[in-house]
């Protein structure tokens, strides 16, 4: 079982819900991270919904201008970064450094010829 699968098994509220499909592992990680931070009490689910809703509204404005909006999980990640910073869990600089490290690792992974397949959680 992959680390992503273990994380999702522990975090997803799947009982009686539709399948959740992630195109990339980072999407699953971002999703599970928000679920777990909320469960751990760092913020309430209504606080998350409000934060995420602001990102959805921004994406809608972008699309209305005729520009390509961020994907659903790009919106999710932007909201995650904002709520993590707002709650004092990490600074913008810490988040930026982490993103650069992840991007560098991802680029190295792609250069090695890795094949990425969509991740589905049933």
pLDDT tens for residues 52-77? Answer: 999 999 999 999 999 999 999 999 99
Give the mean pLDDT of 77-102.
88
Task: Say what the pLDDT of residue 99 is.
Answer: 77
Task: Say what the pLDDT of residue 92 is.
Answer: 87
Task: Say what the pLDDT of residue 108 is.
Answer: 60
Task: Report CA dihedral (24, 26, 29, 34) to the nearest 10 degrees.
Answer: -110
Distance between CA atoms of 98 and 78, rounded to whole angstroms?
14
- Which of these, 103, 93, 114, 95, lies nearest to 33 by C-alpha position? 95
Across the chain, mean pLDDT equals: 79
| % of the chain at pLDDT higher than 70 | 70
User: Angle, to 10 degrees, between the axis of helix 45-64 and the axis of helix 25-39?
Assistant: 140
Give the mean pLDDT of 22-44.
91
Fold category of 3-121 in CATH:
Cyclin A; domain 1 (1.10.472)
Task: Say what the pLDDT of residue 122 is.
Answer: 40
Task: Say what the pLDDT of residue 26 is.
Answer: 83
Q: Beta-carbon neighbour count of residue 77 at 10 Å? A: 21
- What are the residue ranges spanned by the domains of the chain? 3-121
First to last CA, the chain: 14
Render pLDDT for 6-22 as a digit per residue (tens, 0 to 9): 444 544 444 545 567 88
Task: Say what the pLDDT of residue 106 is.
Answer: 64
């Amino acid at each position: 079982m992959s680390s992503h699968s273990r994380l999702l098994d522990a975090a997803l509220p799947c009982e009686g819900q539709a399948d959740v499909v992630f195109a990339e592992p980072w999407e699953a990680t971002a999703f599970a991270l928000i679920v777990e931070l909320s469960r751990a009490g760092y913020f309430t689910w209504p606080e998350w919904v409000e934060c995420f809703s602001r990102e959805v509204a921004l994406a809608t404005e972008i699309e209305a201008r005729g520009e390509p909006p961020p994907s659903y999980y790009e919106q999710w990640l932007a909201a995650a970064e904002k709520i993590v910073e707002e709650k004092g869990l990490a600074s913008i600089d810490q988040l930026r450094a982490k993103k650069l490290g992840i991007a560098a690792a991802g680029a190295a992974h792609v250069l090695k010829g890795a094949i990425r397949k969509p991740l589905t959680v049933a």
